[in-house]
């Protein structure tokens, strides 16, 4: 548990204690909220956590940028490797070398097995197709349940809450 979370727990306890103390008072909602804000540092705790979210998001963007750059670099190395292999293969074929023993590897040029070339996929008989497992259409299921249909094996939950954070 980090210090922000511990501090938040303490402030929530204090906030609820003050709220409970003021429960019998004849205060309008805004006055109650203003009093709670003045008596606790709950808002500041939440601000500190939100600021740490911003810092995390900056880290995520930075790391994602580095990862994207590294993936581009990885693809360049893969293409380079492929071109170099093609150069070696062409040179060995031209020199009529089937095998070449080097200190780093043994290079061998060998035939590859024949493989199908698909010219018209729709013309291929069904015997050569694999059946796909059915996949649950969750959107259609949710729409049907929301429309009031009773569907065996599925119900709608009670929903929940989510935190909306607008930055712009």
Gap between the Cα atoms of 158 and 160, Å rounded: 7
Tokens for 93, please give them. Answer: 């074929």
Quick one: pLDDT at residue 161? 83
Do 36 and 18 touch, CB atoms closer than 8 A?
yes
Quick one: pLDDT at residue 20? 92
Q: What are the residues facing 106 on neighbouring strands?
A: 101
Tokens for 97, please give them. Answer: 């070398």
Whole-model pTM over 0.85:
no
Gap between the Cα atoms of 14 and 6, Å rounded: 12
Quick one: pLDDT at residue 162? 83
Quick one: pLDDT at residue 153? 96
| Spans of the chain below 50 pLDDT | none
Average pLDDT, the chain: 93
Give the SS3 label for residue 121: helix
């Amino acid at each position: 548990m980090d210090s922000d979370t511990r501090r938040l727990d303490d402030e929530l306890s204090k906030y609820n204690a003050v709220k409970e103390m003021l429960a019998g008072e004849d205060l309008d909602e805004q006055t109650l909220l203003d009093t709670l804000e003045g008596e606790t540092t709950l808002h500041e705790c939440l601000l500190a956590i939100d600021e740490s979210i911003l810092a995390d998001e900056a880290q995520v963007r930075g790391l994602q940028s580095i990862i994207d750059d590294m993936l581009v670099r990885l693809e360049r190395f893969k293409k380079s490797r492929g071109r170099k292999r093609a150069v070696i293969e062409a040179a060995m074929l031209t020199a009529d070398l089937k095998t070449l023993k080097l200190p780093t590897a043994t290079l061998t040029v060998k035939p590859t097995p024949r493989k199908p070339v698909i010219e018209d996929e729709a013309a291929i008989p069904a015997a050569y197709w694999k059946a796909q497992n059915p996949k649950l259409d969750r959107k259609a299921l949710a729409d049907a349940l929301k429309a009031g249909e009773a569907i065996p094996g599925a119900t709608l939950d009670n929903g929940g809450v989510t935190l909306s954070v607008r930055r712009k």
